[in-house]
Amino acid sequence: MDSDTFSNQKGWTNKLNALNEIRNLKLHKPELVLKYGATLLTKHKWRLGTDYWNVCEDVFYASLDTLSPEWTDFTIKALRRQFGQTVRVMRMEGILFEHSGRFNEAMKIYEEMLTTNPLDAATWKRKIALFRTTGKIDEAINTLNTYLETFQADIEAWEELADIYLANQHFSQAAYCYEEIVLSSPENCWVILKYAEMLYSIGTLEKVNLARKYFMQAIILNNQCTRAMWGLYQCCNFIKSGKPDDVNTKLLDKAKALLQKAYQGSPIQISNLLS
Amino acid sequence: MELLLDSSIRDWVLIPIIVVVLLSGMLRVMLSHLMDPKKDPEKDDVVVTQAVMRSQKLRQNYSIVPESAFKIRRSFFCKPQTGFLYKEFENTAMANFMDPTSQLDMIKKNAAYGITTMLLFSWVSSFCSGFILARVPFPLTQKFRGMTQRGVELDALDVTYVSSSSLYFLALFGMNGILSLIMGDVLAGKDKIQNLAMPMMGAGPAGKDFGKIMTAERENLDLVNYKFALDGIEEYFLKKF
């Protein structure tokens, strides 16, 4: 959605609606949230009713993003006073610890929360993210695997696991995780493209052959996708160095032609890049 | 016909009824807030639902992943004995259905609501029946007689006069908005206050039979005849571009 839809809302109801909308759509607009939230919390406290606490929560997260400690302080204190040791407030305490770099305290909170409520997906994710932040990659992978045993259909988690594996050059594991994402959005050009790149990175002839198929699929889904064209070109070059094969030569020529067409009118000399 | 209503009717009947209805409403909300059982979804429930979702997705879009990827997943789900969909889960379906506590909770909620309403109604009708308590400041048609003059059978009486039992009902049904204003703080983070004040039958958790769902899913997945969608894409690609 366009960001202008939400900016410059006048009147407290419009501001509140904008905040609700941002929350529901899970958009990331900390400045805007802080701006609206601050007005609502200071000038319209009595009109908000129960929404006051939701706004408080929004402003809390927004204030962490924008480094506005006075708002962090204000909102967490208000929420603490109101709700005490509830799940959402506890998670916020954990995030606050993370924010100030006290990772051990944060971890303690998350672990405590997960023992009492092992189905709290958001806290699981915080814990995994915390492991990743502190560089404990093995723990992050293990925790994520435990999480995925319960929440198998959580695409976001599969993506994160693929990302962790990728960052550590475990391409086949990453490809396995990414297959989950391919399965859930088979028409998404970027997903197909990324999967193809993982297959190519594994580097065996069999996988590169597969990668070639997926690069073609990505180009079919989006014929402007230069990255997929380069991928196809690379795959064909890789396969060419093996035994000569008619289809591959044709595809290589096709990839070159597509790239030359895509770079028409660009200052980059494409013929220098295509050897 | 103009009636002059005694001011002590206002002081001793009208105001007490409204106050009592309001207070009982608050009490009821408080009680249901306190008694509200923490209904966490069972772990098995989540595990099975998510696994079935994943397997359904695999069934729908299997043709986009390579054969090895499909087979590895199918054997994860369907391998005899060890496959995920062969796992035994405690069947919460029958348990839920038969579970006396979950039914009891529902009955308790409904009963609390029904009993307080009935008690109050009998209190109003035994102490205050026959009173004309108030007059609405706008004209009403005859159709509203049943609403405003319950318990007072006077055809000649103007419809705008409100009888005591009618006032009780009006107050009872009109209370939700006021309650949510007053009790908002208590219930912040809760669902809509209306749901608490008037629990509905049949809103309980729908029972699921894990065994059946998993067997059906397993059979469906076993039936899938794998074919790779990208087979022969080379020819198509060369033709298209």
This complex has an ipTM of 0.81
Whether the CB of B27 is below 8 Å from some CB of chain A: the reply is no
Q: Where are the domains of chain A?
A: 185-275
Residue of B nearest to A81 (CA): B185
The alpha-helical segments, DSSP class H, found in chain A are 12-24, 30-43, 45-48, 51-66, 69-83, 87-99, 103-116, 121-133, 137-150, 155-167, 171-184, 189-202, 205-221, 226-240, 246-262, 270-273
* Model confidence band, residue B95 (pLDDT cutoffs 50, 70, 90): low
Residue B42 DSSP label? P
Distance CA B72, CA B75 (A): 5
Distance CA B179, CA B197 (A): 9
* Model confidence band, residue B131 (pLDDT cutoffs 50, 70, 90): confident
Q: Are B64 and B229 in contact (CB under 8 A)?
A: yes
Among residues B47, B114, B121, the alpha carbon closest in space to that of B87 is found at: B47
pLDDT reading at A19 higher than 60: yes
State the average pLDDT for chain A: 90
Q: What is the mean pLDDT of residues B115-120?
A: 86
Distance CA B17, CA B125 (A): 11
A6 vs B141, residue with greater confidence = B141
* pLDDT value of residue A175: 93
Q: What is the mean pLDDT of residues A195-207?
A: 93
Do B241 and A258 count as a contact with CB atoms less than 8 A apart? yes
Q: Which residues of B102-120 are buried (b: 16+ CB within 10 A; e: fewer)?
A: beebbebbeebbeeebeeb
Structure tokens at B200: 């509905």
Q: Are B164 and B150 in contact (CB under 8 A)?
A: no
Distance CA B222, CA B78 (A): 7
Among residues A159, A184, A189, A251, the alpha carbon closest in space to that of B65 is found at: A184
Do A82 and B233 count as a contact with CB atoms less than 8 A apart? no
- Nearest CA of chain A to the CA of B119: how many Å? 31
Distance CA A211, CA A217 (A): 10
* Model confidence band, residue B62 (pLDDT cutoffs 50, 70, 90): very high
* Model confidence band, residue A180 (pLDDT cutoffs 50, 70, 90): very high
* Model confidence band, residue B41 (pLDDT cutoffs 50, 70, 90): low
Structure tokens at B132: 């004309």
Inter-residue long-range contacts of A81-85, CB under 8 Å, 24+ positions, other chains counted: A82/A53, A82/B185, A82/B188, A83/A53, A83/B188, A83/B189
Whether the CB of B214 is below 8 Å from some CB of chain A: the reply is no
What part of B 60-119 touches A (C-beta under 8 Å)? 61-62, 64-66, 69, 72-73
* Model confidence band, residue B202 (pLDDT cutoffs 50, 70, 90): very low
* pLDDT value of residue B147: 84
> What's the pTM?
0.72
Contacts of A226 (CB under 8 A, 6+ apart): A259, A262, A263
Judged by DSSP in three states, B156 sits in coil
* Model confidence band, residue B204 (pLDDT cutoffs 50, 70, 90): very low
Judged by DSSP in three states, B161 sits in strand
Judged by DSSP in three states, B173 sits in helix
pLDDT 10s digits, A211-256: 999 999 999 999 899 999 999 999 999 988 777 788 888 999 999 9
B36 vs B157, residue with greater confidence = B157
* pLDDT value of residue B90: 67
* Model confidence band, residue B92 (pLDDT cutoffs 50, 70, 90): low
User: 């999480």: which residue's tokens?
Assistant: A147
Q: B128: how many CB neighbours lie within 10 A of its CB?
A: 21
pLDDT reading at B206 higher than 50: no
Do B57 and A184 count as a contact with CB atoms less than 8 A apart? yes
* pLDDT value of residue B160: 87
pLDDT reading at B140 higher than 80: yes
* Model confidence band, residue B192 (pLDDT cutoffs 50, 70, 90): very low
B233: nearest CB among A149, A176, A217: A217
3-state secondary structure string across B124-135: HHHHHCCCEEEE
* pLDDT value of residue B96: 56
State the average pLDDT for chain B: 79
Distance CA B171, CA A15 (A): 33
Q: What is the mean pLDDT of residues B63-92?
A: 87
Distance CA A40, CA A22 (A): 15
Do A216 and B46 count as a contact with CB atoms less than 8 A apart? no
* pLDDT value of residue B199: 39
Q: B52: how many CB neighbours lie within 10 A of its CB?
A: 22
Distance CA B201, CA B221 (A): 37
Distance CA A160, CA B211 (A): 31
pLDDT 10s digits, A25-54: 988 999 999 999 999 999 888 888 888 999
One of 1.25.40, 1.10.3210, 1.10.1740, 1.20.1270 is the CATH number of A185-275, namely: 1.25.40
Q: Of all residues in chain B, what percent carry a pLDDT higher than 70?
A: 81
* Residues of chain A with C-beta less than 8 angstroms from the C-beta of B53: 152-153
* pLDDT value of residue B174: 85
* Model confidence band, residue B38 (pLDDT cutoffs 50, 70, 90): low
Query: In this structure, which amino acid lies at residue B124?
Result: V
* Model confidence band, residue B156 (pLDDT cutoffs 50, 70, 90): confident
CA distances from A159 to A138, A165, A270 (A): 17, 10, 34
Residue B224 DSSP label? -
The alpha-helical segments, DSSP class H, found in B87-163 are 92-98, 100-128, 145-148
- Nearest CA of chain B to the CA of A146: how many Å? 12
